[in-house]
Amino acid sequence: MRTKLRTTLFACAVFLLASGFTECYKPVTNSGLPKDIKIVAVPIFQTEAKGLHYKVDSRFTEAVSREIIRRGNGLVVQGSRTGADAVVEGTIRDFFFTGVLLDKEGRARVYEVTIVGAITIRDLRHEKILYDNQNFVFRDSFEFSEDPRSFF
């Protein structure tokens, strides 16, 4: 039984290697940015969404800045392009949320938030685009507590 399993696994591995599927995998290392980039500008994201909700653009920009700081291994983040090595430019194209789980009174307690945007990361010193996604989709669920004290 074990030899049959081993033979099957070996055949699958040979098939994957021979068919070239391994070339699709590119591991992400460090921040993914060139080593000479030390200062990243994150200006406030632009908005195209109609009926955009309160401060979504600034909150999304702040969240992107926090993630760069958290994952960037010493990268400095600023709002201005002046003196920056790279810039993260973004546009929020659409923003909506939907109640996905109701409580016993019929009120939504879990919401799914979806933000569609365009993100471009540019190397300002070499005038090169490092990343471009004109249809970036962020989707996550958020739960609201029944206890109003948890909001403050």
Instruction: Report whether 114 contacts 137 (CB < 8 A).
Output: yes
For 30-151, give the CATH class. Answer: alpha beta
pLDDT band at 148 (very low <50, low <70, confident <90, very high): low
User: Six-digit token pair at 29?
Assistant: 């290392």
Higher pLDDT, 143 or 148: 143
pTM: 0.66
User: Six-digit token pair at 13?
Assistant: 């591995």
Q: What is the pLDDT of residues 56-111, one digit of tens each?
A: 788 888 988 888 888 888 888 888 889 999 999 999 888 888 888 888 888 888 88
Instruction: Report whether 68 contacts 77 (CB < 8 A).
Output: yes
Could you tell me the residue ranges of all domains in the chain?
A: 30-151
Nearest to 117 by CA among 98, 132, 97, 100: 132
Pairing of strands 76-78, 128-143: unpaired
CA distances for 87 relative to 18, 39, 42, 120, 122, angstroms: 40, 9, 6, 8, 5
Q: What is the pLDDT of residues 113-146, one digit of tens each?
A: 888 889 999 999 999 999 999 998 988 888 877 6
